[in-house]
Structure 1
Amino acid sequence: MQALVFWLVYPVLWIISILPFRIFYAVSDFVYFLVYYITGYRKKVVTENLKLVFPEKTDKELFLIRKKFYAHMCDMFLEMIKSLSISNKELKKRFVFTNPEEILRLQEKNKSIVLMCGHYASYEWMIALQLYGIKIKAYGIYKKIKNPYFNKLVKDIRGKFNGELIPTSKATMTITKHEKENRRGIYAMIADQSPKLARSKYWADFMDIKAPVFTGSEKLAREFNMAVIYLNVEKAARGHYVATLINITDAAKKEPPHKITRTYLDLLEKQIKRRPEFYLWTHKRWKHRNTPIPKGSKII
């Protein structure tokens, strides 16, 4: 059944991916109409999140943010499909890194790098980083897709741009192996999800709301004294993004505990508050906000 689903869907995805951008974004507009007006996908969750985070904004302001968010979300979903056929030249044109020399500097220092990302603007096309003469191999830490055929497709797309995906369940083991073998890597981690309550050992103010946070990126960086960079992505225009690599530290072990995680959250917050329509509001990020903080947990 999984193979049947894949082979029925894949030709449609491929056809969408090779469309000229003008028609491609017209398809995205149609998808937006279906998602926003017909199915109302997670509209209640998005509305609750926006009201929670921006209590000072009027209903009209929140309504406009919500509409812009859904339009952007559909663009980003379609852009993921575009990765099937996009050329290196086109990708580099549409996802521009302003300071790739930051990676080259750390490369000269023989440092592995934790690249901390958020669900903001676009994280699908950050694979363009490998097109800037970077010799260190890039890895994306991801949640494995249940359908093995789609899982392989996503891995193949990353492989086309010299990237590789590591399932979250194997991240620590794989990175440890690489470091023991003196193999340097750039490890991209999206670190703003909501951990399960049973694993919520650390809590922090995120968008002025107390919530559990993941600290795994900092833990790995500290264990192997990696450099840590925040990937600051801005949407410059439809289908065009500008990314800046913001150095958090060259040596994670030298930083006070939790400073890396707190700095990451502050940088992401700054982006969200400036242009909220580009954050992924469909996640139930603050679902544990009214839960008493478990005994033994730390507030960072």
Structure 2
Amino acid sequence: MQLLIFVLAYPILWCISILPFRLLYFVSDCIYVLVYHIIGYRKKVVRQNLALALPHLSERERLIIEKKSYHHLVDGFMEMIKTMTISEKEMRKRFIITNMDLYQEYEAKDKSIIALSGHYASYEWLIIMNKYSKFKGYGVYKRIKNRYFDNLVRKIRSKFDATLIDTTETTPTILANHKKGIKSLYGFIADQNPKVWKAHHWTKFMGFDVPVHTGAEMLAKRLNMNVLYIKGEKLGRGRYQATFVPMVENIKEVPDYEITDMFFRMLEEQILNKPEYYLWTHKRWKHTKEA
């Protein structure tokens, strides 16, 4: 059944990927109507999240953000499909790194780097970063149950020389590279919701104490790696930029969980500025100390 679904879907995805951007976003607008107005995909979750995270806004203001966030969600899905056939030249034009000089300074420190980002703006197109980096790039992701689609996603996200590692492979890969002296760049989407019983730390996020992943910070401290925050921004449809923001110096001297807390504060600041570019469909506030 998994293979049948993939065989039926792949030709459609490929045809979408070769569309020019203007037509791609026309299709995106049509899919938005289907997803938001007809199916109502996770609309209840989105409304609950917005009400929890943005209580200072009126219901009408949150509704405007809700609709914009669904437009952005569908655009992001279409842009991921577009990555199947997009050229490196086009990608460099549409996703700009604003301060590569700072990143290169960190490479010159001869330490591996952990880059933290959230589900904000275009985390999918961050893969172009590997064309700028001298270090080998790894992206941490969660495996998809359908192995054929999982292989496709790995292929898409590996297009610009990134190597994808499943969450279960992350620690062994980083430790093995460290032992061999291989300097690498590891990208973490760090705002995901861990299982409560696995949580070592809770932090304040959008006004609530929530369980958070701390693996990236603990690995960075254990192996003396540098940590950067990736501030992604959407400039317009199919136009993004990312800025590297230094987080701490002398990482081994920083108290435990301070980097994780700092990451969520930085992400929260971005969300409050332009909440429509955050991924609201996940149950990020499913577990809170307040609840």
TM over 0.5: yes
Letter in 2 for 1:122: S
2:269 alignment partner in structure 1: 270
Cα distance, 1:291 vs structure 2: 6.0
Q: Quick one: which amino acid aligns to residue 136 of structure 1?
A: F
Which residue pairs with 1:42 in the alignment? 42
* Partner residue in 2 for 1:260: 259
Contact 2:117 2:187 in 1 (8 A): yes
Q: Contact between 1:120 and 1:278, CA under 8 Å: does it hold in 2?
A: yes
Matched with 1:296 is none
Moved beyond 3 Å, runs of 4+: none
Shift of 1:157: 2.1
Q: Which residue of 1 aligns with 2:158?
A: 159
TM-score w.r.t. length of structure 1: 0.94
In the TM superposition, residue 249 of structure 1 has moved relative to its aligned partner by 2.8
Looking at structure 2, the residues matched to 148 and 51 of structure 1 have their Cα atoms a distance apart, in angstroms, of: 36
Equivalent in the alignment of 2:102: 102
CA offset at residue 262 of structure 1? 1.2
1:133-160 residue CA offsets vs partner (Å, 9 max, x unmatched): x210110011111222222222222332
CA shift, 1:290, in A, is: 5.0
Q: Give, in whole Å, the separation in 2 of the partners of 1:79 and 1:251.
A: 38
- 1:156 match: secondary structure: helix
* Distance in 2 between residues matched to 1:202 and 1:160, nearest whole Å: 35
**What are the Cα deviations for residues 98-149 of structure 1, in whole angstroms up to 9, with x where unaligned?**
01122211222211011101000110000111222x2101100111112222
Partner of 1:281: 280
* Structure 1 position 257, deviation (Å): 1.5
**Residue of structure 2 in register with 1:297 after alignment:** none
Mind listing any 5+ residue stretches in structure 2 that lack a counterpart? none
Spell out the pairing of 1:81-160 with structure 2 (5 A cutoff): 81-132=81-132, 134-160=133-159
Q: TM-score, with normalisation over the residues of structure 2?
A: 0.97
Q: Which moved more, 1:89-98 or 1:283-292?
A: 283-292
Query: Could you tell me which amino acid in structure 2 is paired with residue 115 of structure 1?
Result: A
CA distance in 1, matches of 2:162, 2:239: 21
Cα distance per residue 1:163-217 (max 9 Å; x no partner): 0100101110111000000011111011111111111221111011111111111
8 Å contact 2:200–2:214 — kept in the other structure?
A: no
- Tell me, yes or no, if structure 1 residue 229 matches structure 2 residue 228: yes
What displacement does 1:258 show?
Answer: 1.4
Query: For residues 271 and 159 of structure 1, what CA distance do their matches in structure 2 show?
Result: 27
Partner of 1:295: none
Q: SS of 1:249's equivalent? A: coil
Amino acid aligned to 1:69? S
- 2:60 aligns with 60
Q: Find the aligned partners of 2:126 and 2:245 in 1 and give their Cα distance.
A: 14
What is the CA–CA distance in structure 1 between the aligned matches of 2:200 and 2:162, rounded to whole Å? 32
3-state secondary structure, aligned to 1:169 = coil
8 Å contact kept, 1:228–1:249: yes
Measure how far apart 1:251 and its partner are.
4.2
Does residue 16 (structure 1) correspond to residue 12 (structure 2)? The answer is no
Contact 1:114 1:188 (C-alpha < 8 Å) held by counterparts:
yes
CA shift for structure 1 position 60:
0.7
| Cα-Cα RMSD | 1.2
8 A Cα contact 1:143 1:168, kept in partner: yes
